[in-house]
Chains A and B, each alone.
Chain A
Amino acid sequence: MSGRMRLPHGGQIDHNKPLSFTFNGRAYKGLAGDTLAAALLANGVHLVGRSFKYHRPRGIVTAGPEEPNALVQVGEDPRTDPNIKATQLELVEGLSAQPQNAWPSLEFDVGAVNTLAARLIPAGFYYKTFMWPVSAWKTYEHIIRRAAGLGRAPSQRDPDRYDKTYAYCDVLVVGAGPAGLAAALAAGRSGARVVLVEQDHLLGGALLSAAEEMIDGQAALDWVRAAETELSQMANVRILRRTIAYGAFDHGFFGLMENVTDHLAEPPAELPRHRLWKLRAKQAVFCAGAIERPLVFADNDRPGIMTASSVQSYINRYAVRPGKRAVVFTNNDSGYGAALDMTAAGIEVVAVIDLRSAPSGPLTERAEAAGLRILAEHAIIGTAGRKRVTKVRVAELAVEGDAVVGAVEEIDCDLIANSGGWSPTVHLFCHAKGSLNWDEEHACFVPDKAMQAGQRCAGSANGAFGLGSCLAEGAEAGTAAAAEAGFQAGAAVTVESEDRDFLPGRWIWLVPSDKPLGQKAKHFVDQQNDVTAADLKLALREGYVSIEHVKRYTTTGMATDQGKLGNVNAIGIVAEEFGRPLPEVGVTTFRPPFTPVSFGIFGGRDVDDLLDPLRRTPMHAWHERNGALFEDVGQWRRPWYYPQFGEDMHTAVNREVKAVRQSLGILDASTLGKIDIQGPDAAEFLNRVYTNAWKKLDIGRCRYGLMLGEDGMVTDDGVTTRLGENHFLMTTTTGNAAAVLSHLEDYLQTEWPDLKVFLTSVTEQFATITLSGPNARKLLAELSDAELSPNALPHMGYTAARVAGVPARIFRISFTGELSYEINVPASFGMAVWQTVMTVGERYGITPYGTEAMHVLRAEKGYIIVGQETDGSVNPLDLDMGWAVSKTKDFIGKRSLTRADMLKPDRKQLVGILTQDPQEVLPEGAQLVEQVLPQPPMPMLGHVTSSYYSPNCGRSIAMALVKGGLARKGETLYAPLEGGKTVACVVAESPVFFDPAGERLK
């Protein structure tokens, strides 16, 4: 038996497939096809949670995504999920769920003392108190934070995988109810590529919950099955079940989340848990149906009080009786549907309380005919029952509908099915900035104009509530969408059905009671956030009159259901209070997602090592084998240093640095950006983008260049070589290569399209091996056929030759101040050449060095690193590099260098810094002051940009940007460090600490 409240047959469930599950530590049985909510109701369980603020006992209210109360914690850590709606959770064998927000237990919740203190904590109470003493907020906040929150996040890394994919279609149909199926059929028959998205695992929408709807003379669900079969057989139609179209974005772009495995007891290892579909649709048809609103009456939150349509859903779809003795409370015809279905299911309907003075409508008439007791122009004015509703108090409504009169009748019941009307699901339409109209007759917001081309609503999502209209609108919309996407209509979708609306209705937003509002009873508008009608009125009384202020002050509509049940009621109550037409109050903005979507899908498989592309040089494996530690530079992973025999970083770097100066070092410089520049105007182009002159550079010569932005600030530097009359190779900093290429292309295409220049990124086409040190020439001579004498290949010279048998470009350029060769070989030969060089170089004690040693070596020479000595606010003159700035020609950024503030003598300028204690190494980032004050603030002169211990100088060296630094040579400055220590240092005569005459480069 799958629960004492289960009907023996019927429904869209498998009566022969029992499933075991636990809730709140107790074992239960359900059936395949159940949601957790259905299975709990089948077992007579209504109490499923406690409310957010007052910890009131709460039960299942709905059968869908609008559920405010039945939120559960599912599964065990680390596969545990908080805040899952039991009304959407498919039951699987072994499912384990826990109630949330109740301590120590659901039945006895200590937090419920809040109920007693409820009068002290109306909407916004926290803005009015907890202010003294000033320091106490931390404590108050701690308590508030513990009390708030719903479920628990997992405590460990999520072991599941997620996936994402792109998709394109001609027509997207959201919702596979009658309108959506008709739309998909119409579009599908035209040959258009159709994606049909349905959040449920079954197609049919509201028809799944209906008792006896007919379509084309057959049972509605038979028509659904036929439509499903036809759609499944169309190659141009994709049906995505268990998929939520969670957001509509610009230009027909949609976010969908597919639940791939949550409904499987033992998910196959190869499947992701959820999948993000990034879908671009030429046309879209929104057929997301409508959501029934509850009525706002006194103590309307007790377990056993449900929306009428959800009661029908539990009976008809899940074969569950949600109660034995029911009262229906309605203001429109559709509530009678629940009364009839309950009667048919053997639930005793003791009364139908109808706010309308003269109940009418097709279902009303059938209920009358069935002899149900109907109390017209009556209202429920109170309920009783702690963990389940046990009775209602009923009274007659005054003529105006704003008060009750006469005697109060008490009626025992364990279920209240209530209906306050229907709201079309316009969320996606509004995400895409469609506008709404207020439909006075149906009392709901309906789609008006779509902002984006090719978007439309159909069926009850469009305010067409009769089944016949839904089908007709769906078919029409599907045909129109396909036509606009360029497809001729196929066989017409013509289906007939009864067109029953829920009218007439009487729209009373706040059901009166015999007690003043807010006293001794609560009219809940937003159950999850415990917002009552009295809270709304308090907000208005206090001047929070905009609907957005009401929402934010009271938090109505901000819970995990995002106001799907409560928002229109709240707007109605506000409008009534002001005596303003409801549409004037307006709606709050609809924001994605329609229902919550997991964070995991946005990473998909691009997580861990795949989060961002990782770039490795052709010699990477060698570095790994030889124990390199790595540093991330942009997307590149570069060898940082190569510790040997347990060396620490300091020892290893010192060894590498010394080896370069004493004999020979080798550096993998492949990451430097390389841009091939060709064309008759290449030299002119370089002349415009670099600060110095380029036209007269000889073929076979290299030149250092600085690049600025138009604001005059240094953006990049590098050496560029003239390979031929019209052919240059530019190098850029590692991190900036892509940006520099974009910058060059931008100017070339948009400012100077007349220049004949072609740019090609060749960074990854070459491996770059730098040999540096006094023995560099000797080694290279052994490996190469190049003429390497200083006359043939001087400093800043270039030659093409073979190295280790491989065609190579040899640049005699140096970032260390030593005799250096940068050798470019085709990337695929990089490893082979490197290995040959290492083998042959052994006799010179060739030493691989990493970026750290490279930094020390260049700092010994006072060479800058863009991004370290510069930060976007440094110009070439600040760097004392006026020698690289042409006075005679224009270049990008030149005009900025003569603006008033650029010429001030107190700009920060780059200088060398020597600590008074030569063994003291300043931390990079240390700030320098003229005078140490006993306490801050202390006027700062600038900061240390680079600082190292230099084994070649036998002392520490540093560079700094210092206000008026070039005029401060010889001055003593101080670096007050974290922890109270102060380091005295002197501004050096020059930032070139090693071989200032450049003898070693000759």
Chain B
Amino acid sequence: MSQPPAPPPLPTRSHTLSHLATCTPPSPARTWQTAPHPHLPLLATACADRTVRVYSLSHFTLQTTIGGGHKRSVRALAWKPMSRGQSTLATGSFDASAGIWRKWESGGGDAAHDYTNLNPGGKGDDDDDDDGGDGDGDEEYNFASILDGHDSEIKSVAWSASGQYLATCSRDKSVWIWEELEDEDSFETVAVLQEHEADVKCVAWHPESDVLASGSYDDTVRVYREDVDDWVQVAQMGGHGKTVWWVEFEGSGMGRVLEAGVEENGERRAVLEERERAGPRLLSASDDCTVRIWRKVVKDEEGGGQTAGGVPSIFRKSIEEEWVTEAVLPLRHDRAIYAASWSRRSGMIVSTGSDGRIVVYKEQWRAAVPNGVEEEATAGGDQEMANGEGTAAKSKDETASLTEWVVVAEIEGAHDVFEINHVCWAKRYDKGKRNEDEEVIVSTGDDGEVKIWTLEEVSSSGGA
């Protein structure tokens, strides 16, 4: 449109990533992570200058800077889901504490529309600075409580789907699960999980159930759930060769994305049904330059069936789960991957990391019977793979898979020469949006910038 069309990176891709906007003003220090608000056109960004910056997703301008709480970098943040009427933000900091911040949403969730008269230059708009400081100040996020307990830097925070639980993790090797007590701003520790052997880098909740996943400096991914009264580890997944920087569950019912290609194909139908039974998959992104997709193995209800060794469970059905690598995404990064995110609309995955690339992948049915598909699994190496590149690396766990992941778009140097610490999907709110379901990609970099990207399918028929 307004920009001259940049030459597509390397081989022709089916989609184009275009820079839509950069949130202004940027942070003067490194930014670590950005979280889109669950229902308002807002982004919250964790900044190394000990603040959180809240930007508008309609205008890409700074709305509020939340400061004065943490004594060191804010490393991670998460909006509490299911909280209409009041926005609740959790922050995790290198100062070993987590903070809870609240702001009333005036007009029952329409607060963002009040910003329409905001001067984009940000100067002289007295509404902006006129924060009474009291509990109901329209512009202010009020500090509600502090969660102390970790011994060292908090690396990640995440709310469960229902908003009931908050998980935090730290360099102290532990994962804590907190539950908010009713009608007071205090949180109770419901579990301290110390399964990892080193820093826990990331936590993520299942989109429906109270199932938690974590990734660590010990290279493993672990899954936990509540067993009667105790939270316990139910699975440990090895496979990554280096630190796991990010884990994230797939959205609910994403099998629908592949529905179109099923038709009368019984094999494909069976795959989707199996997937439906197993539930959302999990992705993990690592310093080893790979993104792995994990699938829970559906066990026979009758028991006995799949359990290795045939050791009978004395008390009841084992709570242990088996998760296997279903796929390794095409290798497109040559330095640590810091984040990967699963679109809950399109099922696509976007990844980014130290190499400054943003890569978007899509799952599709394999064109033909996978008879000896030849794929090059160049371990994090040459990105100039001539042919057959863009298809998934081979993995012994995914033999005979009927689907494959392909790269649909990628961009180099998305934050100029800087590392990109985080990437995620968000609903599109600006004037240019083409439909209600449109999404944008949000990237957060060492340059202190939060950038917004659109993903557009390249029309093969030549249209726009």
Q: A and B: real partners?
A: no
